[in-house]
Amino acid sequence: MAESILTLFRRNALRLGVTPCFHYKEKNTWKNLSWFDAEETVRRYTLGLAALGLKPGGTAAILSQTRMEWTLLDLSILANQAITVPIYPTLAADQVAYILKDAKVSLLIVEDVFQWERLKPYLKEALFPVVLMQGEAQGFINLEMLREKGKSLPVNLYDENLKAIQPIHAASYIYTSGTTGLPKGCIITHRNILAEVQGLQEVFHFTPSEIGFMCLPLAHVIARAMQFFHLGQGCQTAYAENIDMIPVNLREIRPHFMAGVPRLYEKVHEKILSKVHHSHKSLQKLFNWSLDVGMNRSDGLWSRLRCGCANLLVYRKVKKAFGGRVKIFVSGGAPLDKSISQFFYALGILVVEGYGLTETFAAMAINRPDDFRFGTVGKPLEGVRIKIANDGEICVKGDTVFSGYLNLKTETEVAFDKEGWFLTGDIGEFSKDGFLRITDRKKDIIKTSGGKMIAPQYIENLMQQSRYIQQIMIYGDRQKFLSALVTLNWDAVESYAKTHNIPFSSRQDLARNDQITELVYQEIEERNKTLSPFETIRKFAILDTSFSIETGELTPTMKIKRKTVVEKYKTILDGFY
């Protein structure tokens, strides 16, 4: 029998038995599902899906928020030798319909009836069964009914399927965010998943008694990779109730580690600084002293004594907000500002940043807990080879690299060079000691009318260090100078307005206020001083609403759709020149 994520899961189920595998909250109470019961549930769901007609090589889509049932059904689809198609629950209905058609989905799993109702107008006819994760409704199959349907099939079908899975078999079609057009389905094989899990196992050594917190959407490749890592490693998984309940759930479940995107850590950073800013001056001094102690820690006796005091007075209180047991945060999906990593490190929490794409099934490089450099994405994962092309593009080979784009032969061909290296589209460089640093997206490079080549992401990340700037998009391709569209960090700006007696009745008032415009100008100018003259922002506009998924300016992974934003705000941008 070939090794797969399912064989790793089964081995851990046999080894760990009745110890907790999953933690989930139901009716305001945390409950757990043992490894034994988790595998038995997967077996029953596998048979139920087969009874509904899901065949080897068939496709089943999951449209739901992150929850335990998502993981159980994902494993059940794979155990049918079928292919999971994860879909963001926030994705526009017309794009969901496109994915269902492109992937030739034969079975759809939705969180509730609401998800189905919003899809119906975009589906001419539903020729596939629809399974509900929660609730009941006529014409739908709920999870209890799914179990019952499976009873008509032999129990050992599950075991036979696991034996039949081969590394080259497709396991998932994961659709990319689509910043440049329609989403593309990346064909992820069982070999890709296993290679990623084994690579992460070389980096992290969590035990069966330790809990990983799952809060990212499971349609996000990072969350999916971490889901499989938990199952392969044999550690426990706790599922957040929803995004708003993350702070409460962290304090309740007290996890040891979690994965998130930079915006999650930025929000925590902002919240801590805001709380300090509004505290008594003596507490501000204490906090700043503790940061300095943490930043300059060493193995010396005096340093250890100072860190011990800082831990009692400050660090322990910060960690308590995350439950008090957290060891490591994993960050990926977008660049994490170096200052955020340093901030958490000073407080005794290590944030390890990694780098990968949907096409590489998450991480291809990552910082290690015992070998890290802030401001980089670490060293290549075990079994992954990375090289920098002559034009600076990052190229990768290894078992984590996908096999191609679904139904897109030409796009697949141009994604690889003649030697089989996958072309990431990212620009980067290696440090002398082997750490990879990402500098920009190849397609996002701006060329000014003066011929200067500019990496906008570096400047955007620099500007977003301001506590008053939420988002910023740099513009200036084929123009004489750079300009920018800015959205505000409303909490910080509202606080500033109240402190400085700036009257306002709405956020729109703040966005149009001259004093706030001057504040943002000074923040930009301060950072312009660190840039070359041709990289500086000469003009900017403050928008009265933030970029969002709902309004079409962000992808589900929170990346700015530059083309969409440029079209939407063309009048403002043209006015700069």
CA atoms within 13 A on the CB side of 483: 19
- For the chain, the maximum distance between any two Cα atoms, rounded to a whole number of angstroms, is 73
Q: Which CATH superfamily is domain 445-575 in?
A: ANL, C-terminal domain (3.30.300.30)
Distance CA 86, CA 113 (A): 18
Cβ atoms of 254 and 281 within 8 Å: the answer is no
Distance CA 362, CA 332 (A): 9
Please give the mean pLDDT across all residues of the chain: 92
Cβ atoms of 212 and 228 within 8 Å: the answer is no
Domains of the chain, residue spans: 5-256, 262-324+327-398+423-441, 445-575
pLDDT reading at 512 higher than 90:
yes
Mean pLDDT of 500-505: 93
- Per-residue model confidence as pLDDT tens digits over 18-62: 999 999 999 999 999 999 999 999 999 999 999 999 999 999 999
- Per-residue model confidence as pLDDT tens digits over 157-185: 999 999 999 999 999 999 986 545 678 99
pLDDT reading at 76 higher than 90:
yes
- Environment class of 525 (CB within 10 Å of its CB; exposed 0-12, middle 13-18, buried 19+): exposed
pLDDT given at position 177: 65
The matching CATH number, chosen from 2.30.42.10, 3.30.70.100, 3.40.50.300, 3.40.50.12780, for 262-324+327-398+423-441 is 3.40.50.12780
Give just the sign of the alpha carbon dihedral 352, 357, 358, 360. negative
Q: Which three-class secondary structure string do you get for 153-168?
A: CCCCHHHHHHHHCCCC
Asked whether the domain spanning 445-575 has the same topology as the one spanning 5-256, the reply is no
Could you tell me whether strands 257-260 and 59-63 are parallel, antiparallel, or unpaired per DSSP bridges? Answer: unpaired
Residue percentage of the chain with pLDDT more than 90? 73
pLDDT given at position 549: 87
pLDDT given at position 552: 87
Instruction: Provide the b/e sequence for 492-524 (b: ≥16 CB within 10 Å).
Output: bbebbbeeeebebeeeeebbebeebbebbeebb
Distance CA 416, CA 438 (A): 20
pLDDT given at position 100: 95
Q: How far is CA 528 from CA 6, 276, 386, 462, 539, in A?
A: 52, 27, 33, 9, 12
pLDDT given at position 314: 87
Residue percentage of the chain with pLDDT more than 70? 99
CATH no., domain 5-256 = 3.40.50.12780
